[in-house]
Amino acid sequence: MSLDPYQIRKDFPILSRTLPNGKPLVYLDNGASSQKPQSVIDATNEYYSNYNANIHRGVYYLSQHATELFERTRIKTSHFFQAQCAKAIIFTRGTTDAINLVAQTWGRTNITEGDEIVLSVQEHHSNLVPWQMLALEKKAFLKFIPINEDTTYDLSNLNEIITKRTKLVAISQMSNVTGTIHDLTRIINRVRQVGAKVLIDGAQAACHMPIHLVDMDVDFYAFSGHKMLGPTGVGVLFGKEDILEAMPPWLGGGDMIESVELESSTYAALPAKLEAGTPNIAGVIGFSHALDYLQKVGMKNIKEHERMLTEYALERLNRIGGLHIYGTEDLDKRGGVVSFTMEGIHPHDVGSILDEEGVAIRVGHHCCQPLMKQLSIPGTCRASFYLYNTKEDVDALVHSIEKVKSIFGRVARK
């Protein structure tokens, strides 16, 4: 059953707004953050209005009710992503926080001098800088999986890149720049051959397709709630239970302890051990409703809808002269992202003119400066789709790009 984006749009109040310049909003920056349905907005408001209290500590009704809803979200997240168990779900502030948690706990414990950490050349800075910092501290080495011309991973020399000295492979499942969806099977199989661990940056993939964590056989998987209809400030780290059990805490403080003496402490069981302090309670409860919404629509339906929009967008954009579109042409290996440059026009100028037309896209290096350097460009224009986008949104994008060409054509002729 296909989804109906026109019906879905009615659940997102921001999508019906008119911008200050009188233009209707065309939101195509879902790769950065998604919009929120009314049910998620209502859930966060209800928490603050009716049962605002800290969790895990109070014996009174408000605290108990908030705790129950918070922990229900953990169980729901585990089921949604086919995780090992609810204890394997650690709530964080986002993907960046989740990856840093692994680097600072598992990484500092297990990476030693001379070890190798394998990344790819197109990683988001969130899955690059933490490993740079750890490698510098531990005197370890970074190695990189290259990419093909179509931005898929080049696995021709995989056995030389992932070796017996490799301790961790940390890679993205879907590129935030090009939307390229990577087949991770060969990489994970090679990781198992050498006895290393694998972390998947799922920030872009988790919101757009079904994810079955046990079947994937990953050691760590990180993603953000705000990219999948949830509030900001909520992320998830999945880890295999035995690995998480062996990891020391990163942050010390309240709620992550079993007992505390003046000079020593013992730590709580999972997941509390890795969740120090008061979390984003309203955000996690709101994320529960985001999962409900996505479950109702169906992740397979979302993936197919985005494929249709991407195919339509590529067909229309390829008619415009002077555009260079990045990423694979194979729609089976591409998510709902179209990243492009316009000949002779800086991406920031493109984005500014599109904004005047009410079309919101992302321009720049997208926190992937090494990839931009490899592509020999300062940045791209990125349109990214989600379940509420329509062909009319794509038409508005195309019309605005044609206006950019018209404006710069007139400037060039003067």
| Max Cα distance, the chain (Å) | 77
Pairwise CA distance, residues 331 & 182, whole Å: 12
Backbone angles phi, psi at 200, to 5 degrees: -110, 125
Pick the CATH number of 41-296 from 3.40.640.10, 1.20.1260.10, 3.10.105.10, 1.20.1280.50: 3.40.640.10
pLDDT at 412 over 90: no
Give the C-alpha distances (Å, rounded to integers) separating 160 from 141, 163, 197, 368. Answer: 14, 6, 17, 25
Q: How does residue 1 score in pLDDT terms, banded at 50, 70 and 90?
A: low
Nearest residue to 93 (alpha-carbon basis) of 287, 357, 306: 287
Place of tokens 């994320």: 287
Asked which of 10-24, 66-80, 253-267 is least confident by mean pLDDT, the reply is 253-267
Write b or e for each residue in 270-306: b if 16 or more Cβ atoms lie within 10 A of its Cβ, otherwise e. bbbbbbbeebbbbbbbbbbbbbbbbeebbbebbbebb
Q: How does residue 2 score in pLDDT terms, banded at 50, 70 and 90?
A: confident
Q: What is the pTM of this model?
A: 0.96
Q: Which helix (H) or strand (E) holds 398?
A: helix 391-413
Q: How does residue 84 score in pLDDT terms, banded at 50, 70 and 90?
A: confident
pLDDT at 56 over 50: yes
Asked which of 233-247, 281-295, 322-336, 397-411 is least confident by mean pLDDT, the reply is 397-411
Pairwise CA distance, residues 221 & 246, whole Å: 17
Query: How many CA atoms lie less than 13 Å away from 9 in the CB half-sphere?
Result: 14
What mean pLDDT comes out for the span 376-401? 97
Nearest residue to 383 (alpha-carbon basis) of 176, 230, 134, 121: 176
pLDDT at 314 over 70: yes
The residues, any chain, with a CB within 8 Å of residue 220's CB and separated by 6 or more, are 98, 102, 106, 197, 198, 199, 200, 237, 238, 239, 240, 243
- pLDDT value, residue 413: 41
What mean pLDDT comes out for the span 394-410? 93
Averaged confidence pLDDT in the chain? 96
Give the C-alpha distances (Å, rounded to integers) separating 413 from 312, 349, 410. Answer: 32, 18, 5
Backbone angles phi, psi at 284, to 5 degrees: -65, -40
151: left (phi over 0), alpha (psi -120 to 50) or beta: left
What mean pLDDT comes out for the span 205-228? 97
User: Which sign, positive or negative, has the C-alpha torsion 21, 27, 33, 35?
Assistant: positive
**Burial of 153: CB neighbours in 10 Å, binned 0-12, 13-18, 19+:** buried
Pairwise CA distance, residues 221 & 262, whole Å: 36
- pLDDT value, residue 411: 46
User: Catalytic residue positions?
Assistant: 367
pLDDT at 340 over 50: yes
What mean pLDDT comes out for the span 183-205? 97
Nearest residue to 28 (alpha-carbon basis) of 376, 363, 370, 369: 363
The residues, any chain, with a CB within 8 Å of residue 209's CB and separated by 6 or more, are 181, 299, 300, 302, 303, 335
Q: How does residue 397 score in pLDDT terms, banded at 50, 70 and 90?
A: very high
pLDDT at 414 over 60: no
| Angle between helix 281-297 and 299-317 (nearest 10) | 80
Domain 5-30+299-412 bears CATH identifier 3.90.1150.10? yes
Strands 166-172, 197-201: pairing kind:
parallel
- pLDDT value, residue 21: 94
Pairwise CA distance, residues 251 & 106, whole Å: 13
Pairwise CA distance, residues 131 & 129, whole Å: 5
Pairwise CA distance, residues 244 & 250, whole Å: 12
Give the C-alpha distances (Å, rounded to integers) separating 53 from 50, 87, 278. Answer: 9, 23, 10
Pairwise CA distance, residues 142 & 88, whole Å: 28
- pLDDT value, residue 410: 54
Q: How many CB atoms within 10 Å of residue 352?
A: 12
The residues, any chain, with a CB within 8 Å of residue 287's CB and separated by 6 or more, are 40, 73, 77, 225, 230, 231, 234
Tell me the domain boundaries of the chain.
5-30+299-412, 41-296
